[in-house]
Chain A
Amino acid sequence: MGLLHRFVARRAPDILQTEIRLLHRLGFVRPPQAVQWIATSACDLACPHCYSKSGRRADGELTTDEARRLVIDELVRLDRPALVIAGGEALLRGDFAEIVEYAHRCDVPWALHTHGGHVRRWIDVFRRHTPQMVAVSVDGPRAFHDEFRGRKGCFDAALEAIVLLRQTGCPEVVAGTTITRHNADMLADMLPTIINSGAHSWGLHLTTPEGRAAGRPDMLPTPAQLRRAAAFARRMRAVFHIELDDEWGGAGGDDCFYRDDRFMCGAGRFSCVVSATGELMPCTTTDLAESQGSIRRQPLSRLWAERFEAFRAPAKGALEKAQCFDCWLQTRNGHSCRAAAFADRGDPFGKPCSPQTEVAVS
């Protein structure tokens, strides 16, 4: 036992690589670890950085029955990965409690992305069926957050949601900040608020030039801002649990200083996204060209098994590629998410973005 553990720990990358190859050759696919479901496109805020132009409910959103049959029942068939409910604003779905109740009955763990404004309304649901994780958006200090999201009181609602969720016993409440050009330099100002909010961790995301943000190039942070934000996060990780999320890509040998687990894009490999209308996507993108099929036409479990070929094909040095080149925008554009998103302004981590790239070199 002990020897095996030692061996596994020491040779973990080799074992993982061999396993990926073996699975691929035999036509086996591991079940996903998490499936995100965009429960609705409806949202009562109009954030300019929204990747999905959320606002109105989309035509043909999954009904309650479809959510049960096509999503949750299928997750049971896939060994019950976590169901991550997102939006829009997922808490605007009137059947939210029903769906969570059903997931709970099926023993499917769930998590939620929310702006926090409606947590109080559903607090009994959170108490009865505590989610594994909830991410609450916090975009900046109070004045900035409220102005950015277009509604006064949003900031207080988000912080209140964090407190309420903590009180329900939710094991991981994450404050999530999408970095834009306007808030990138506010991180030092925000940190004490985030820490004192009671959040377990702080996730830093990058604006994706899609949806509403696609028409706002002025929202994209500059390379200098990204470099500063990364440098700041790296230092503050010594004090608080801060994570640079996948949109940032990998930082090669320095990755361990920016996140707890080494960067590896899970798109199509250990996670996927079901859009509001039932399209199966590799990750949170609204680009229908990335759709792997509709779960209304084919079961989610079969789509998961048979699609995502481009994401799963092992190649020589796959693990190293996974560190940096392997993410959804890479699949589409031949660059990492970050480099593609900020192509005209250069890569904040320097070019070429390879596993050996020096990170945040001044």
Chain B
Amino acid sequence: MKWIIVLAMWTAAVAGGLAVLWRLARRRNIALRDRFSPKFVRIVAVILVVLGVGVESESADRSPGGSANQRSQSSAPGRDETIPDVLKQRVPLQFLLGERTGWCETLIGLENLSRKPDGQVEKSLEDAVQRLPEPLREIAAAEVKAVKTGRPKPTVTAEKIGAVLAQLEKIEVLFDGRSTGYLWRKTAQLPEKRDDEKVVELFTALHRHARIFNAVNYARAVTPFPRPRSTSIGPRRNWLEEHYAMDERMRLAVSVFPRTDAGTWQREATAVFAIDKDSAPATLIRAGERRPLLPAATVRLNRLDLIETPAGKPVVLEHDWLGALELPPGRIVTVWDLPGLLSADATDKIARATAAALRGDEQAIERIEHVLPLCHPAIRAALSESPEVAGAPRLCTILATFDDSLSGNPWPAGNRKEKELNPPFMPLTGLRR
């Protein structure tokens, strides 16, 4: 009996081999059909890779930010930094299930509320806020209340924002772009008297959060889901996908994290300054690292950078277009402080450029794009005054890239004709997970 099986197997193998040779000789492609043939080829490919055959060397560094390694070293501070332990254990589930937190609905709801206050929108927003993770709920609820009543957004201390971020990371294990943007926007309302060390800690934490999110997001994108085989009790697909793929993803995130930069936080919505040669030296605080800014040096200031000025003598930044910007001595200056420090002449220039941009002047648009950290209040004001002008949508898009938000609510409620919600409020489904 055994020899019959052996003979049959040999015959099948020879027939298979001949079929392949015939196919090769015929030089005519055929489409693989049936359920198993593509899988069979995949299995052969896996075996070849296991044996180390046919694998091309990986030449590209595919870390997020592309050629991060070719950029300046400053783009990836803390190369020896390791990703937090908590990420290695629990972040996969939170990353996948982040939507249950109601985060997106809250952000969209705030936008909707500012455009067209409506009972249904309000209710949906309140529901969303209730579903937010505990640390976020309080400050989001305060913001909702302020938007509803038309009052200014409440001030939040750096300590409080920092605590919220720490809780999100440690307790909720939530690393996402929304948190970075939302909490950074909250720093616009820091109280006048603030604890500088806490501000530094907060901006450092936000920078780190952005990098971790980028690393995790990158890992999510480049690690394909393996397709688990069905079992007699069903595919158990979700469980397996989450378990195995996310495990791999987290491992990849950990490995690329040291080379990952803060992405758009670092490269977009920046402004370039030179330190005036007669200025006092300042200190740039980027990602928690302090670097001296000596007179005549040039710096590209991003939204998560801080400038520390020495006591006694002011620091003077020189901008190509807007001229001198005098930073007060003995304090930590955030990007939100910069517009208030502009000279009258610079403010006037920005106002004129913004007005021209509203009219659609391309040159003016390009100009203000290069000084977003300085001109965003002027854009908000212009949009508020002239929401119907042709150039307004473009400025809203530009402003959104500074705010890292839908639009930063530039429109006073009911001030724009096209802002109605259309069609009547639908359950939202495309929100990010």
Residues of chain A touching chain B, judged by Cβ–Cβ distance below 8 Å, are 1-2, 4-19, 21-23, 25-31, 77-79, 141-143, 156, 159-160, 163, 166, 185-189, 191-193, 195-202, 222, 224, 228-229, 231-232, 234-241, 251-257, 260-262, 301, 304-306, 316-317, 320, 355-362
Contacts beyond the supplied A4-B46, A26-B24, A305-B31: 5 A-B pairs with Cβ under 8 Å: A2-B244, A25-B24, A192-B108, A229-B397, A262-B222
Separation of A252 and B218 alpha carbons in the complex (Å): 11
CB distance A18 to B49 under 8 Å? yes
For A22, the chain B residues whose CB sits under 8 A away are 41, 44-45, 48, 54
What are 6 inter-chain pairs, A to B, with CB distance below 8 A?
Answer: A7-B50, A15-B49, A185-B393, A305-B31, A316-B56, A356-B66
**In whole Å, how far is A52's beta carbon from the nearest beta carbon of chain B?**
28
Minimal beta-carbon separation of A132 from chain B (angstroms): 16
By a CB distance below 8 angstroms, the chain A residues around B430 are 195, 199-202, 240-241
**Contact code string B78-101 (vs A, CB < 8 Å = 1, else 0):** 000000000000000000000000
A69 to chain B, nearest CB (A): 18
CA distance A2 to B229 in the complex (A): 11
Query: Whole-angstrom distance between the alpha carbons of A252 and B62 in the complex?
Result: 7
**A357–B264 touching, CB < 8 Å:** no
Stretch from B189-197, B317-325, B327-335, B421-429 that touches the partner: B421-429
Separation of A30 and B33 alpha carbons in the complex (Å): 8
Specify which chain B residues have a CB less than 8 angstroms from the CB of A195 in the assembled complex: 108, 428, 430-431
Contact (Cβ within 8 A) B56 A253: no
Residues on A with C-beta less than 8 A from B362 are 222, 224
Given the contacts A26-B20, A196-B425, A359-B66, A141 and B30 also touching, CB distance less than 8 Å: no
B280 is an interface residue with CB less than 8 A from chain A: no
Cβ of A26 to closest chain B Cβ, rounded Å: 7
Cα-based distance from A235 to B362 in the complex (angstroms): 23
Q: How far is the CB of A67 from chain B (nearest CB, A)?
A: 20
Interface string of B403-433 (1 = CB under 8 A from A): 0111100000000001101110111111110
Q: Does B73 contact A (CB under 8 A)?
A: no
The verdict on A255 contacting B221 (CB below 8 Å), with A5-B228, A18-B45, A22-B48 known, is yes
Indicate whether B27 reaches chain A with its CB closer than 8 angstroms.
yes
Option from A30, A320, A358 in Cβ contact (under 8 Å) with B59: A320
- Verify B248–A198 contact, CB threshold 8 A: no
Residue of B nearest to A308 (CB): B29
Which A residues lie within 8 Å of B66 (CB)?
251-254, 355-359
- Complex Cα gap A301–B33 (Å): 10
On whether the beta carbons of B407 and A188 are closer than 8 Å, the reply is yes
Chain B residues positioned under 8 Å from A160 (CB to CB) = 423
Min Cβ gap A308→B in Å is 9
B176 cross-chain contacts in A, Cβ below 8 A? 238
Please state if A79 and B45 are interface contacts (CB–CB under 8 Å).
Answer: no
- Within the complex, which residue of A25, A29, A193, A355 is in contact with B422, where a contact is CB–CB below 8 Å? A193
Contact B70 A362 (CB under 8 A): no
Contacts A28-B41, A188-B400: A240 and B423 contacting too (C-beta < 8 A)? no
Give the number of residue pairs across the A-B interface with Cβ within 8 Å. Answer: 282
- Is there contact, CB below 8 Å, between A224 and B365? yes
**A235–B229 touching, CB < 8 Å:** no
Interface-facing stretch out of B199-207, B265-273, B286-294:
B265-273
> Interface residues of B toward A: which range?
35 or more
Name the CB-closest residue of B to A23.
B41
Give the CA-CA distance A166 to B430 in the complex, in Å: 12
Q: Which of B286-316 contact A (CB under 8 A)?
A: none
Interface contact A239-B406, CB-CB below 8 Å: yes
B contact set with A: CB distance below 8 Å = 20, 23-24, 26-34, 37-38, 41-42, 44-46, 48-50, 53-56, 58-68, 70-71, 104, 107-108, 111-112, 115, 176-178, 181, 214, 217-218, 220-226, 228-229, 240, 244-245, 247-248, 251, 263-264, 267-270, 362, 365-366, 369-370, 391, 393-394, 396-401, 404-407, 418-419, 421-423, 425-432
Bound state CA distance, A198 and B406, in angstroms? 17
Q: Is the CB of B224 within 8 A of A9?
A: yes
Chain A residue numbers with a CB within 8 Å of B245 are 5, 9
- Interchain CB contact (< 8 A) of B393 among A186, A201, A222, A253: A186
Please report the C-alpha to C-alpha distance between residue A323 and residue B115 in the assembled complex, in whole angstroms: 39
- Indicate if the CB atoms of A27 and B71 lie closer than 8 Å: no
Q: Are A239 and B178 in contact (CB under 8 A)?
A: yes
CA distance A18 to B62 in the complex (A): 19
Q: Which of B58, B267, B421 contacts A192 (CB 8 A)?
A: B421
A87 to B389, CA, bound (A): 36
User: Are A320 and B60 in contact, with the CB atoms below 8 A?
Assistant: yes
- From A6, A30, A231, B31 is in contact (CB under 8 Å) with A30
Contacts of B67 on A, CB cut-off 8 Å? 252-253, 356-358
Q: B426 near A197 (CB under 8 angstroms)?
A: yes
Measured between alpha carbons, how far is A304 from B30 in the docked complex, in Å? 9
Q: Which of B34, B45, B223 has the most CB of A within 10 A?
A: B45
**Closest B-chain residue to A361, C-beta based?**
B267
Which residue of A14, A143, A256 contacts B64 across the interface (Cβ within 8 Å)? A256
Contact A362 B426 (CB under 8 A): no
Shortest Cβ distance from A256 into B: residue: B221
Q: Do B423 and A9 touch across chains, with their CB atoms under 8 A apart?
A: no
- Contact in complex: A238, B181 (CB < 8 Å): yes
- Chain A residues lying within 8 Å of B27, measured Cβ to Cβ, are 27
